[in-house]
C-alpha cells in the first residue's frame, strides 16, 4: 500500500506542480494549491483505504482512489469556476446597478426646474454615499442576518473575509454580494429623491435616507430576500418590483403627502400649473443609463452564472427586460399621441421605466409576448396615473410614484400568470404587508422630521430656488 500511496503522492505533486506553474494568479496560488494538494492526497488515500477495508483488491482500491481524485479535480475546477462566475456576475451586476445612481441623477436633474438642479445633483450624490454607509453599518445584516421565517435580522456591521482569504462558501464572495445589494438600496433612496424634489430640505431628506437605507428597506427586504416570513409564505419578487421599487414608491408617497406640493403647482378649481424640467436630453440620458443598469439589476438577480442553465436564464432575462421596456415606451408613446395629439417625451421616458419596473418582479418565466404585455401595461399605467396624481394634488416631480410604486405593484401582481409556483393571494399579501409597513414607518419618520428640524424650505427659498438658497452654486450660471 505504501507504494501506491507514494505513487499517489508523486502524482499529486505533479498535479500540484502543474497547477503552480499553470494557474496564472500572482500571489495566492501557492496557498490554494497546497491546500488542494493535501486535500487530493487525503481523499485518494481515504478512498483507497476504505476500499481495502471493505475487502477490495488492490486494483479496486487504486481505482477507487483514482475515482475520488478525478471527482475532486472536477469539483475543484468546476466549483472554482462556478464560484468565480457567480462572483463576477455580482461584480458586473453591481457596477451596472451602481451606475443607476447616475441614471437617477440625470433623470431627476433633467426633470426639475433650472433653479433646483444643483440641489438635485447634491441630494443624489449624498444619498448614494449614505446608502453605502448605512447598508454596511447595519442594513446588510438587518436584511440577511436573520433567521428563516423571521421579521428582522441582526444589528451589526458587515464583515468581509480578509484579503487573500478567498472564501466563497456561499458560492460567491460575500463582498460581491454586499456590493450588489448595496446598489439596490441606493436605488430605493433615489426614487424618493425625485418625488420630493424642489422643496425638501437637504438635511431632512438625508436624515430620512439614513433611516430608509439602514432600516426600512432592509427590514422588508429581510421578509423576502433575507429568507423571512414572506419568502416562507411563497411570495415571489425576482428582482424587486416590490422590494425595491414599490418600497421606494411608498416612501416617496409618504414624503409627498407630508411635504406638500410645490408652491403654485395646484391652483383653484383643480388647475394644474406644469413646471417643465430643465433638460430633456439629461432626462433621456438618465433613462438610458437606468435601462442599461437594469440588465445588472434583473440579470444579476439570477444570483448565479456557474452553470449553462444559469447563464441561459440570464440571457432570457436580458431579452425580456429589454423588450418590456420597449413595450412600455411604445405604449406610452402611442397613448399620449392618441390622447394629447403630441408626444410628450417625458411620458415616453416614464413609460420605458415603468416597463422596466413591471418586468422586474418576474423577468425570467414570461415568454416574450407575456413580457411585452407586462411592460406595455406598465407604460399605460404612467400615462393614466400621472394626471390622476395631479388630481389628488400629489406633487410627484419626476413621476416616481406611477413608475415605481404603481408599475411595481402591477409587476408583482402579474407574476402568477407566468410562474406556476406563485399565487395571486400571496402576492397581494406581500405587496400589502410591505406597503403598509413602509408607508406607515416612512410617514412616522417624515412626521418626526417635520416637527423637529422641518422638512420643507421657506416659501422664499423655494421661489428663489434651492440652488441659491441651500447650495450657493447655480447649476448653469450666467454672466
Partner 1 sequence: MKLVMAIIKPSRLENVREALSASDVHGMTVSEVKGYGRQKGHTEIYRGAEYAVNFIPKLKLEIAVKADQADNIVSIIRNSAESGKIGDGKIFVFDLEQVTRIRTGETGDTAL
Size of the site for partner 1 (CB under 8 A): 20
Which is nearest to 298 in space by CA: 89, 447, 11, 112? 89
Q: Residue 221 and residue 131: Cα distance in Å, rounded?
A: 14
Q: Which does 253 bind (CB under 5 to 8 A by kind): its own copies, partner 1, none?
A: none
In Å, what is the CA distance from 332 to each residue of 42, 338, 348, 373?
64, 10, 5, 13
CA 450 to chain centre: 29
Residues 279, 112 contacting (CB under 8 angstroms): no
Which is nearest to 106 in space by CA: 180, 190, 45? 190
Residues 127, 193 contacting (CB under 8 angstroms): yes
Instruction: Report the nearest approach of its own copies to the CB of residue 209 (Å).
Output: 11
Q: Which does 175 bind (CB under 5 to 8 A by kind): its own copies, partner 1, none?
A: its own copies
Burial letters for 106-134: b for 16+ Cβ neighbours within 10 Å, e otherwise?
Answer: bbbbbbbbbbbbbbbbbbbebbbebbbeb
Classify burial at 10, counting beta carbons within 10 Å of its beta carbon; exposed 0-12, middle 13-18, buried 19 or more.
exposed
Instruction: Report the nearest approach of its own copies to the CB of residue 22 (Å).
Output: 4
Which residues between 121 and 160 bind its own copies (CB under 8 A)?
Answer: 121-122, 124-126, 128-130, 132-133, 136, 157-158, 160
Q: Residue 200 and residue 150: Cα distance in Å, rounded?
A: 35
Which residues between 324 and 343 bind its own copies (CB under 8 A)?
Answer: 325-327, 329-330, 333, 337, 340, 342-343
Residue from 316, 357, 403, 455 in contact with its own copies (CB under 8 A):
316
Which residues between 34 and 53 bind its own copies (CB under 8 A)?
Answer: 36-37, 40-41, 44, 48, 51
Residues 336, 383 contacting (CB under 8 angstroms): yes
Nearer residue to its own copies within complex by CB, 152 or 314: 314
Determine if 392 is a binding residue for its own copies (CB under 8 A).
no
Determine if 342 is a binding residue for partner 1 (CB under 8 A).
yes
Instruction: Report the nearest approach of its own copies to the CB of residue 273 (Å).
Output: 13
Site string for partner 1, 253-272 (x = CB under 8 A): -------------------x
Instruction: Report the nearest approach of its own copies to the CB of residue 187 (Å).
Output: 14
Instruction: Report the nearest approach of partner 1 to the CB of residue 419 (Å).
Output: 33
Nearer residue to its own copies within complex by CB, 57 or 432: 57
Nearer residue to partner 1 within complex by CB, 61 or 107: 107
Bridge partners for 272 per DSSP: 266
Nearer residue to its own copies within complex by CB, 118 or 438: 118
Q: Residue 75 and residue 86: Cα distance in Å, rounded?
A: 15
Which residues between 375 and 394 bind partner 1 (CB under 8 A)?
Answer: 383, 386-387, 390
Instruction: Report the nearest approach of its own copies to the CB of residue 452 (Å).
Output: 17
Dmax over CA atoms of the chain, in Å, equals 97
CA 347 to chain centre: 24
DSSP track, 370-385: HHHHHHHHHHHHHHHH
Determine if 225 is a binding residue for its own copies (CB under 8 A).
no
Query: Based on C-alpha coordinates, what's the Rg of the chain?
Result: 27
Determine if 280 is a binding residue for its own copies (CB under 8 A).
yes
Determine if 233 is a binding residue for its own copies (CB under 8 A).
no
Which residues between 409 and 468 bind its own copies (CB under 8 A)?
Answer: 467
Instruction: Report the nearest approach of partner 1 to the CB of residue 313 (Å).
Output: 37
Q: Which does 383 bind (CB under 5 to 8 A by kind): partner 1, its own copies, none?
A: partner 1
Judged by DSSP in three states, 266 sits in strand
Which residues between 282 and 311 bind its own copies (CB under 8 A)?
Answer: 282, 284-285, 287-289, 291-292, 295, 299, 303-311
Instruction: Report the nearest approach of partner 1 to the CB of residue 387 (Å).
Output: 3
Q: Which does 407 bind (CB under 5 to 8 A by kind): partner 1, its own copies, none?
A: none
Counting other chains too, the contacts that 210-213 makes at CB distance below 8 Å and 24 or more residues apart are 210/130, 210/134, 211/445, 212/188, 212/251, 212/442, 212/445, 213/127, 213/130, 213/131, 213/134, 213/135, 213/139, 213/185, 213/186, 213/188, 213/189
In Å, what is the CA distance from 69 to each residue of 108, 392, 455?
58, 69, 65
Instruction: Report the nearest approach of its own copies to the CB of residue 282 (Å).
Output: 6
Residue from 55, 164, 421, 472 in contact with partner 1 (CB under 8 A):
472
Residue from 340, 367, 369, 476 in contact with partner 1 (CB under 8 A):
340
Which residues between 260 and 279 bind its own copies (CB under 8 A)?
Answer: 276-279
Q: Which does 299 bind (CB under 5 to 8 A by kind): its own copies, partner 1, none?
A: its own copies
Nearer residue to partner 1 within complex by CB, 59 or 478: 478
Amino acid at each position: 500500500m505504501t507504494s501506491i500511496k507514494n505513487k499517489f503522492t508523486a502524482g499529486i505533486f505533479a498535479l500540484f506542480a502543474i497547477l503552480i506553474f499553470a494557474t496564472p494568479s500572482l500571489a495566492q496560488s501557492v496557498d490554494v494549491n497546497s491546500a488542494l494538494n493535501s486535500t487530493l492526497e487525503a481523499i485518494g488515500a481515504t478512498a483507497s483505504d476504505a476500499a481495502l477495508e471493505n475487502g477490495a483488491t488492490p486494483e479496486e482500491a487504486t481505482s477507487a482512489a483514482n475515482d475520488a481524485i478525478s471527482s475532486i479535480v472536477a469539483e475543484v475546477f468546476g466549483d472554482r469556476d462556478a464560484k468565480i462566475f457567480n462572483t463576477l456576475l455580482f461584480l458586473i451586476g453591481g457596477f451596472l446597478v451602481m451606475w443607476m445612481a447616475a441614471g437617477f441623477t440625470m433623470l431627476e436633474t433633467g426633470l426639475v426646474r433650472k433653479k433646483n438642479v444643483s440641489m438635485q445633483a447634491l441630494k443624489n450624490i449624498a444619498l448614494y454615499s449614505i446608502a453605502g454607509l448605512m447598508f454596511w453599518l447595519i442594513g446588510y445584516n438587518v436584511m440577511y442576518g436573520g433567521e428563516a421565517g423571521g421579521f428582522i435580522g441582526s444589528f451589526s456591521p458587515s464583515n468581509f473575509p480578509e484579503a487573500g482569504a478567498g472564501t466563497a462558501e456561499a458560492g460567491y464572495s460575500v463582498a460581491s454580494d454586499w456590493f450588489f445589494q448595496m446598489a439596490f438600496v441606493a436605488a430605493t433612496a433615489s426614487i424618493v429623491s425625485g418625488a420630493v424634489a424642489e422643496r425638501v430640505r437637504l438635511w431632512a431628506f438625508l436624515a430620512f435616507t439614513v433611516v430608509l437605507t439602514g432600516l426600512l428597506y432592509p427590514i422588508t427586504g429581510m421578509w423576502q430576500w433575507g429568507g423571512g416570513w414572506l419568502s416562507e409564505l411563497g411570495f415571489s419578487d425576482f428582482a424587486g418590483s416590490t422590494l425595491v421599487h414599490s418600497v421606494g414608491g411608498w416612501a416617496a408617497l409618504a414624503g409627498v403627502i407630508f411635504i406638500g406640493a410645490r408652491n403654485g403647482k395646484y391652483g383653484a378649481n383643480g388647475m394644474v400649473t406644469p413646471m417643465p424640467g430643465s433638460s430633456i436630453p439629461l432626462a433621456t440620458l438618465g433613462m438610458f443609463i437606468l435601462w442599461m443598469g437594469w440588465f445588472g439589476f434583473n440579470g444579476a438577480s439570477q444570483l448565479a452564472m456557474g452553470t449553462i442553465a444559469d447563464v441561459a436564464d440570464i440571457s432570457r432575462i436580458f431579452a425580456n427586460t429589454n423588450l418590456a421596456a420597449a413595450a412600455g415606451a411604445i405604449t406610452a408613446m402611442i397613448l399620449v399621441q392618441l390622447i394629447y395629439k403630441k408626444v410628450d417625451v417625458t411620458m415616453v421616458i416614464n413609460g420605458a421605466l415603468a416597463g422596466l419596473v413591471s418586468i422586474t418582479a418576474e423577468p425570467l418565466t414570461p415568454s416574450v409576448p407575456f413580457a411585452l404585455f407586462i411592460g406595455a401595461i406598465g407604460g399605460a399605467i404612467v400615462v393614466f396615473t400621472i394626471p390622476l396624481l395631479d388630481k389628488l394634488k400629489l406633487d410627484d416631480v419626476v413621476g416616481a410614484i406611477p413608475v415605481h410604486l404603481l408599475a411595481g405593484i402591477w409587476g408583482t401582481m402579474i407574476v402568477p400568470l407566468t410562474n406556476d409556483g406563485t399565487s395571486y393571494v400571496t402576492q397581494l399579501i406581500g405587496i400589502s404587508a410591505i406597503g403598509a409597513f413602509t408607508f406607515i414607518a416612512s410617514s412616522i419618520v417624515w412626521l418626526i422630521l417635520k416637527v423637529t428640524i422641518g422638512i420643507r424650505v421657506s416659501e422664499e427659498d423655494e421661489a428663489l430656488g434651492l440652488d441659491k438658497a441651500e447650495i450657493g452654486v447655480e447649476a448653469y450660471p450666467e454672466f
